[in-house]
Every structure is written in structure tokens, then in C-alpha cells.
Amino acid sequence: MLLGPSFFGHFLEYLRRIFPFRSFMVIDTYAVLGTIFQLFMIGVQLNPMLLARAGRKSQVIGVLVVIIPLTLSVTCACVLTSITQGNDKLNRPDLWRVGAAQSMSAFPVIACYLSELNILNTEFSRVAFSSSLVSGVLCFSLVTIYMIFYHALNKIAALLMMIFFSALVLMLIVFILRPATMWMIKQIPEGHIMREEYLCAVFMLVMMLSYICRSLHLHILFGPFIFGVTIPSGPPLGSALVERLEFFNTWMIMPIFYTEYGMMVNIFDVELTSTLIVEFIILVSCTGKFLGAFLPALYYSMSYTDATLLGLTMNAQGFLELSFFKMLMDAQILDKKSYQIMVGSMIVITGAFAPLVSYLHKSSTKYQLHNRRTIQHSQPNIELRVLACIHDQENVPSIIHLLKASNPTKESPINVSIIHFMELVGRATPLLISHKVHKKASAITAGSQRIINVFKLYEENNRGSILLHPYTVVSSYASMHNDVCMLAHHKRTSLIILPFHKLLASGVNNSGIKTMNSNVLDKAPCSVGILIDRGLLGGIKFVLANWLSYHVAVVFVGGPDDREALAYGTRMSEHPNIEVSIIRFLMAENKEIDTVERNLDEETVTDFKFRTAYNNRATYIEKEVSNGLGVINVIESMGNKHELIVLGRRHDDSPLMLQLTEWNKCSELGIMGDIFMLSDYGGKATILVVQQQTRVALSSTDLLPDNDLQQRAQSMNVLMSNVFNEEEIPFKKEDT
């Protein structure tokens, strides 16, 4: 719009030099090519089974989100037209067509909109996907029928010809082009990339289909989109096509498309009165779309927030609506002034709703709970619920070793949900697949099957003490945390285990995993542990071997995260083959430590002593240090005798921690975690950095008042003093 007649286009010399008349043919060609390949790419990413699997809720919303705005806007337009009849300045015969055009909805636009906002895998976004697919099919059918009846003299014959030619193109795609692409896929060995000549052949077929559709008086986008839908999404062909097209088309061709369509808008051509009338119809249509999604969503028991988000999302408009508006203008169904007002309204509405949708989504996914889902606040002899995240098979050994160290027994089993993550490449819709429900392997789950089989074998070897629930998630790194937090909330887990984003053995650094870990730490409904595998445990072939001995160290400075680490270490100490050492740092002068936090620390330590009083494999060591160097010396003295080191992520800004801030290079590990990760301290022991879930609703009673804390601590201390006076208790204690 800035480059067009609304602003810089008023300067004729500028327009002659920058955009000479002959350049518009080139720009228009690029714009059409961009639209063709953009819709083809979205077709490749689309899962066609979404339409077949759309439930009644999605079907009802998809239909009403078209019918309600269409009815309201056309009715209001007809009333306004009859009122303003005879007034040349106010009367607009095409007003009802404006309302009808604004009522249209397109799945590709909704998919791109949600992808840009990184909210692909939420409840409302899944409903928006399937609903927009239903509404898109309905809109395409209505528009096609209207265009035929508007232009053709013999309307029935034209409709039959359109159906015949459409069926002809469909048969060409299904019976010739799809088998050809499947043959290409079979020529590529598993794990190899697609050959360039095959990709070029597919691109040529896309152009050929556009030409055929144009010659048969069908829309040029019809063939490329259907062809894209028939190509299997994901590797090798689907992901390769998207990888080749996405950057070039999205960042180079589509800007030309938007430039051309924006340059057609001249804000000086529109009048205030006509603008207000058209804007009123657009507002009625947007309200109808919102109500068409909001009301049935509430009827089907969606929350008010999700229903609101769904209603706002269904009002999103993009490149398909722009193409549709221009097509109506070229066909003289809409006049140019209406087109200009509709384009301006589209920019304002979509631009205003995007931050609102993002804000409401963030506000609705904080997972505020009324109870503490932590290991510390779990009962000692009940089921422990864990959710473990896996990105590749290199994460498997360390996670299974951690589960083994967690002391699963038939009296206190571990209910573990395994999520294997696959990056969303070559498809538009994210997937959450349960392997308990979908037992047959598919092309999507084939990559997960080897990993899942290892965990199933571990479950069989520990029948009754391990309960496995495997999942595969296909999503973008920016939104993977939504699946993690949603599943953790649904499964009522106490601990989420995340692999560290950097493989220390190979030095491979994955920034996407780092983003996901940071988001989970920020939004998790339970405690989180980041697992750093330093190569001590070996490969998958060693993972199911039994231990003769296993040494665990818990580093305790103080604070909720360290208390969670100590509670986890207490559970591990009950394993018959595990030796647990608690190394507690005490400052020489600790007057600035918060009294409540100190009491909580003492209570947790006292609980550990009480539960391990008869356990000669448990060791409690106190190290008094006066500065940061003392902490480093103690950590260095730990040597390499431990297989696992557990520690907390966050600590108060005590003088001791402030002296160690120069080590804090990785925020998701905290200061103490960085000390171990960036050095050789602890040898090659696996590191688990724990963050306790501390966000609870105000009505929660899990956190006790100060006086109750003191009473509990005092009663526990009295009990412990009686216990430790008995000489036969083999509790080992070292004070330094």
C-alpha cells in the first residue's frame, strides 16, 4: 500500500522509474506463481484424513461459521440497499456480495495463521484446523457454483461441464500423477534425500496442472492443491518439497504477491460514507463468524477462553482471501472501491486479532494447580508418575538408567509416559499419536518404533513395577512444550524428564530442543528435570543390564529445587543396589538466609535422615564453606566415583551463589548445573538438574504456614533425636 497510489504512487517520476508499466506484467506473473506454489505446498502439508475424521463438533462449527455470517451479512446488506435506494452516494448494489465474500473461510490461511503464532497443538487449534477444513470445502463449493451461474448463459450445462472437467482432472491426478510420485518415493532408499530431478519433475507437473485447469475453465489453483494433497506428507518427498519451496516462495515470491495486491489500493478513492456502510457489513460478517464458532464451541463443552480463541481465529484472512477478492473484482462482481475497503479491513482485523489471540492463549495455558505435583509432596508408597521426553535414540540409555535408579517396585510403581518427538517438517498439522491405541506401525510412527520397543522390553522385564504409555508427537520445536505440558497435566505427573539440548560426547547443539526446554521450565505443571548424558552409561545394548552397584550424589545448597532433588535422592536410597550420598553446603555465616526457607530445608533433611536411619547405603555429609572457591574445591573432591549427580536448578541470591555467577552460561541449568556441565567435575557421571513446581493457586494448602512448619520440624527433630540415641542404627554421617 505504501508503494502504491495511497502514498508514494502520487509521485509520477518515482512510479515511472521504480514501477514502469511493463513491470506489472512480470509482477503479476510472479504473484500468480507464488499463489500456485503456496497452495500446492499447503496441500502437501495437509493430512486429508482430517476431513474424514472430523467429528460432529468440527462439522457443526465448520458449517455454522459460514452459514451464520452469510445469513447475517446478506440480510443486513439487503436491508441497507433498500433503505439507501435512490441515493446515488449511499446506494451500493454489490453490498450483499461484500457480505458473502467476507463470510468465506479457508483452511490454508488458518493453518498459516496458527503456525505463525506457534499454537498448532492446542485443543482449540485442533478444532480450528478440522472446522476450517469443513468450512473451506463448503465455501469452495458455494463460490464455484455461484461463479458458474453468474457467467454462464446455459447454467445447467455449464455446471455439468464443470463437474465433468473437475472429475477429469481428479482422475488424472489420482490414477496417473499420484502413482508417478509413489514410484519416485520407492526409488529412494530409507534415510536418503530426494533426488533433484524428481523434485524438478514434480514442480513441472504443478505448472502443467495449472495450465490444464486454465484451459478447462477451472480455477488454476484447483489442480495444484489437489495434487499436493495426494502427495504423502513428511519424508522423503513431502518434506523435501516443502524444504525447497518454503524459503523461496514464502520470503521471495509471496512478498511480490502482497506488493501487487497492496498497490491496487488507493485510500483516496474511497468516500467516508460508502466506507462506513461497507465496514458495517464487514463487522456484521466478522461478528457472525465469531458467533458461528463461539456458540457451538460452548455447546460442546469447550472453555470460554478456547471458544473465544476459536471465534477470533476463524476471522483470520490471508493470501487466499486476497486472491478471491481480486477474482471478484476482475469478474466485475465487486467494484474497485469495495475491494480496496475489504483489503484494508483484512489488514486491520487480522493484525489486531493476532496479538489478542497470542495473549489469550498464553494466559490460558499457565496450568495453575491447587496441589503440588512434585516428588517431595508425593506420598512415599504410592505410584510415581513420570513423563520422559526423547528426541533420538541417544537419549534412551540415560532415561532408562534414571528410571531404574528411581526404585520402581510393585508397592510403589512408576507410571511413565514416553514421548518421542519428531520435528514438524512437510506437514501442516501437528500430531499426537498414542501407541496404546494405534498399535499398527504407520509411515509416521515407523521412526519411533525402535525406541518404543526398547521401553516395552524394559516394561516386560519389570512387570508390575513399570507401567508404560508411549506416544509420538510431530510438532515444531516452538510449540512442543504445549504437548508436554498438556500431557503432564492430563496424566497428573510429578516429574518431567527433558534431555539436555547439547550432546556432550559429540558436541552437537540443537537450538530447537533448547527452546523447548526453556518453554517447559517456564510453563510446566509439575517438577522438571534436565538430564545431561556425559557418556558414562554406554549405548542401548547396556541399558537392560542389572547393576551390581550404583552411586548417586545429591548436591544440596538449599531452596525448593534442592529440596526436590533431595526428595528424589531419598526415593533412590531405598533401591538395594544404590548408594546415595547427600553433600550439603553450609555457609560459615548464614544470617541472611530466609528463616522459612531454612526451616523447610531442615525439615527435608530431617525427613531424609528419618527414612534412611536403618540404611547403611545412605550417607549425609555437611561441608562448611566460606566462599565460592570452597564450593568448587568440594565439588572437585567428589572425584569420579558417582554414576549420577542430582542437584537443584535455582538458588537464592545468597553471597555464596553471587560469587559463582560467572559460571552461569546456560540459564536452564542454573549455576550449580553449569559448574558440572562446563567442567570435568564428577567425571562422566550423568547430571540431573531439577526444578520443583512451585506455582499453585491461592487456595492451595500444600504450603504450610510458618508456625505449622516449625511444629512439624520440631516434632520431627524430637523423633530423630530419640532414634539416633539408639546405637544399633547404622546411619553413616560425616560432618566437615
Distance between CA atoms of residues 197 and 612, nearest Å: 67
Residues 6+ apart with CB under 8 A from 115: 428, 476
Distance between CA atoms of residues 422 and 435, nearest Å: 15
Distance between CA atoms of residues 654 and 590, nearest Å: 9
Name the residue ranges covered by the structural domains of the chain.
8-68+104-359, 384-735
Kindly give the interhelix angle for 107-116 and 304-313, rounded to the nearest 10 degrees.
120
Please state, as a whole number, how many other Cβ atoms lie within 10 Å of the Cβ of residue 596.
14
Given a cut of 70, the residues of the chain with pLDDT beneath it are 1-6, 8-15, 19-21, 23, 50-54, 86-93, 151-153, 155, 191, 363-371, 426-428, 437-446, 504-507, 536-548, 588-594, 663-664, 681-683, 695-736
* 478: its cell numbers: 516452538
* 123: its cell numbers: 485443543
Residues 6+ apart with CB under 8 A from 659: 627, 628, 629
- Contact in structure between 696 and 702 (CB atoms under 8 Å): yes
- Closest to 410 in 3D by CA, of 365, 364, 451, 464: 464
Looking at residue 733, what is its pLDDT? 40
Distance between CA atoms of residues 110 and 117, nearest Å: 11
What does the angle CA 125 – CA 129 – CA 133 come to, to the nearest 5 degrees? 160
What does the angle CA 264 – CA 270 – CA 273 come to, to the nearest 5 degrees? 155
Distance between CA atoms of residues 685 and 682, nearest Å: 6
3-state helix, strand, coil in the chain (%, to 5): 55, 10, 30
Which fold, 384-735?
Rossmann fold (3.40.50)
Pairing of strands 508-509, 527-532: unpaired
Which fold, 8-68+104-359?
Na+/H+ antiporter like fold (1.20.1530)
Burial of 161 (0-12, 13-18, 19+ CB in 10 A): middle
Residues 6+ apart with CB under 8 A from 598: 558, 590
CB-based burial, 224-240: b 16+ in 10 Å, e otherwise = bbbbbbbbbbbbbbbbb
* β-bridge partners, 432: 473
Looking at residue 439, what is its pLDDT? 58
Q: What is the pLDDT of residues 638-688, one digit of tens each?
A: 878 888 999 999 887 777 777 777 766 788 888 888 888 877 766 678 899
Sheet with 414-423, edge to edge strand ranges: 431-434, 466-475, 414-423, 384-390, 495-499, 527-532, 686-691, 644-648, 550-556, 578-587, 618-625, 732-735
- Looking at the whole model, is its pTM more than 0.85? no
**Cα 587 from chain centroid?**
43
Distance between CA atoms of residues 19 and 10, nearest Å: 12
Looking at residue 547, what is its pLDDT? 61
* 573: its cell numbers: 536410597
Please, what is the end-to-end C-alpha distance for the chain in angstroms?
74
- Closest to 225 in 3D by CA, of 121, 106, 377, 328: 106
Distance between CA atoms of residues 529 and 556, nearest Å: 15
Looking at residue 14, what is its pLDDT? 65
| Owner of C-alpha cell 505504501 | 2
